[in-house]
Structure 1
Amino acid sequence: MTATESQPQAPPAETPAETPARAIPEALPLQPEDPPRVGEFWLRGRLGANAAGYLYVASDETGRDAVVAMMTEGSADDAAARDRFVTAVDELPEEAVLAHNDADDDDLALWAAIGPIRTDDGSSAASDERLLAERRGEDVLSAVLMDRVPQLGRLRGPDFRHYWENRRRPGLFRIWPLPWPNALRPASRWALALALLTMALIMALAVFLAWLLFHNAQPLEPEPVIPTPTNTITITVTPTTPPPGTGGTPTTTGSTPATPNPTSTDTVPVPTGLPSGSASPTGGDKF
């Protein structure tokens, strides 16, 4: 090899590829029986469910994400199942339990918010925290269901089954303050405002149409006759003026003679045909 010949260049060292982030499982939509909120956490979707409880993805008002494990209606009514839930939550690391309700609330289902979970930025760290919180929630519900207890001895007899496994609705919960309107998104707020404005316009249009139809309506004729306590009816007699150029005297209706003043009126009591002191035709009721 001569001195003028160049040595071959070594290929550049390849940079290690970034570890792809694990796929975060998508949450299913909430069902009508699911609570919209437990404690300070708003539920956004279901992650999983079994006979012991549900796993929800949730976040609080500050944007902190968590996985909420909540007991079902059947397991929440079993004192032994509640004890297993509390024991499983107590065995988790202290920093992993973000919040939980009081175990003494016998009328409510127990729940626990598990985290912490950072905001999903596409990194593997965020997905690992989410999967770890979900795995811890599954372990809590499995402790209630006792489906991971190792088998001791030989299998004999019928399979074991909890008496409350068919009652799989979410357990009872209490919401305070009420979720409306804090649970509404900006799009929902605009839809609500538009609906209220539309209802107001429809009501105003209905009132305007009613005014157009009835503002020129004439009063009912003849006016209703109201009997007096003396069993007589008062009739107002108004004289009529004959047209110009015709003779005769003004004519009146009734049994009283007409008066020369055309603007005067006479009242004539007319008996109603009932004896004095008798009851009215309706038995004392006034029309």
Structure 2
Amino acid sequence: MTATDSRTDAPPAGPPSGPPAGPPDGVPARVIPAGLPLQPEDPPRVGDFWLRTRLGANAAGYLYSASDDHGRSAVVAMMTEGSADDAAARDRFVTAVDELPVEAVLAHNDADDDDLALWVALGPIREDDGTSSAADERLIAERRGEEVLSAVLMDRVPQLGRFRGPDFRHHWENRRRPGLFRIWPLPWPAVLRPASRLALALALLTMAIIMALAVLIAWLLFRNAPEVDPGPVIPTVSGTATVTVTPTTPPPNTNSPTPDPSGSPTTFPTPTGSPTTGPVPTGSPGGTDTPGGDPGDRF
């Protein structure tokens, strides 16, 4: 009796045949977003284009998907605050934009705006109708925006010699916030959704009600308050001056009145001598034309 080998030759392991396994039935496939949401530091609008999502970023700038009020889509390339403050980087941005085809540049800001970051809107991009042509146009616009930012960063410049020493790095690479921008007219409330407009209207109405209540409470508290005493009367400046006439020294023992035992009214002695006479000065009190004017009497 001979023993037989029960092992069978297994086929070699290899890639599974057929289409790849997809999600189970009834479970929707995960949708990869076309871009990242905007951050609070991102501008809501540049020029005539409303920014929608972030498509990419590096030390030189950002790529945004955008559209204008007429529904025209575009890809916006905008410099960071660090690269926008470098005159050489701004020149490289302008040169890269000038080298693009004329029909690819939809809009851009003025290169003479030294206090603003440079940006350019690239297109044209047709409405996404599910065809490959619309996707290709968006991809081409994104590639052109990447080329503009790469020209600013100079990361695609070929190496001319051997690598020696430390790697090259721009001094502004750490300043990666979006560059300065200016919006006029203000973007709101045109971009607000109906729910946001309702919230804004309710907030304004609440503020008006609070202000009305504050005015009503103040009126109820102070309506019966006593009137404040009038302040001191400040004399007005006139062209006359009051002159005080001083009598001469009275005789001795005549300073006090002499009581009359008969009950008659008390009489006062009449001072002797004539009153001082002299010219009466005219003009304002304390003026230069008043002799002996006291500076404290001036008003």
When normalised by structure 2's length, the TM-score is 0.60
- Deviation for aligned residue 1:134: 1.0
Q: In percent, how many aligned pairs have the same letter?
A: 81
Q: Please say if residues 42 and 60 of structure 1, whose CA atoms lie closer than 8 Å, have aligned partners that are also in contact.
A: yes
The match for 2:35 is: 27
Cα deviation, residue 137, structure 1: 0.5
Question: Which position in structure 1 is the counterpart of 2:261?
Answer: none
Spell out, residue by residue over 1:86-122, the C-alpha distance to the aligned partner (whole angstroms, 9 max, x if none).
1111111111100001112222211100011122233
Q: Which amino acid aligns with 2:154?
A: M
Which residue number corresponds to residue 190 of structure 2?
182
Within 5 A, what are the aligned runs for 1:166-205?
A: 166-203=174-211
Aligned partners of 2:36 and 2:150: how far apart in 1? 20
The alpha-carbon distance between structure 1 residues 227 and 79, as it changes in their structure 2 partners (threshold 3 A), is closer
Matched residue, 2:140 = 132
Instruction: Map 1:79-94 onto structure 2 (within 5 A).
Output: 79-94=87-102
Q: Classify the secondary structure of the residue corresponding to 1:122.
A: coil
Structural mapping, 1:26-175, within 5 Å: 26-175=34-183
Q: Classify 1:185/1:218 alpha carbon distance in 2 versus 1 (closer, same or farther; 3 Å).
A: closer
Q: Distance in 2 between matches of 1:110 and 1:224?
A: 63
In 2: Cα distance, 1:225 partner to 1:178 partner: 51
Normalising by structure 1, report the TM-score. 0.62
Counterparts of 2:231 and 2:57 in 1: how far apart (Å)? 77
Residue 201 of structure 2 aligns to a residue whose secondary structure is helix
Q: Is the 8 A contact 1:88 1:143 kept in 2?
A: yes
1:66 deviation in Å?
A: 0.7
TM-superposed CA distance for 1:54, in Å, is 0.7
* SS at structure 2 position matched to 1:150: coil
Let me know the Cα RMSD of the aligned residues: 2.9
The gaps in structure 2 that reach 5 residues or longer are 1-30, 234-299
Q: Which whole-Å CA distance do the structure 2 matches of 1:75 and 1:205 have between them?
A: 52
Change beyond 3 A, Cα 1:225–1:182: closer
Q: CA deviation at 1:72?
A: 0.9
Larger radius of gyration: 2
* SS in structure 2 of the partner of residue 45 of structure 1: strand
The residue type paired with residue 125 of structure 1 is: S
Deviation at 1:228, TM superposition (A): 9.8
In the TM superposition, residue 129 of structure 1 has moved relative to its aligned partner by: 1.5
Distance 2:95 2:231 in 1: 85
CA distance in 2, matches of 1:218, 1:94: 76
Deviation for aligned residue 1:127:
1.8
Provide the residue aligned with 2:280 in structure 1.
none
- Give matches, 1:248-263, under 5 Å: none
Deviation (angstroms), 1:218 = 7.1
Unaligned runs of 5+ in 1: 1-22, 230-287
SS of residue paired to 1:121? coil
Any idea what SS the aligned residue of 1:175 has? coil
State the 1:225 CA deviation: 8.5
Query: How many positions carry a matched residue from both structures?
Result: 205
CA distance in 2, matches of 1:194, 1:129: 43
**CA contact 1:119–1:126 (8 Å) conserved in 2:** yes
Deviation per residue, 1:146-198 (Å, 9 max, x gap): 11112222211111111111111111222212222223222211211122233
Distance 1:74 1:210, change over 3 A: closer
2: distance between equivalents of 1:135 and 1:192?
40
- SS for the counterpart of 2:121 is strand
Compute the displacement of 1:130 (Å). Answer: 1.4
Contact 1:24 1:127 in 2 (8 A): no
Please identify which structure carries the higher strand content.
1
Change (3 A) 1:219 1:60: closer
How many angstroms does 1:207 deviate by?
Answer: 6.4
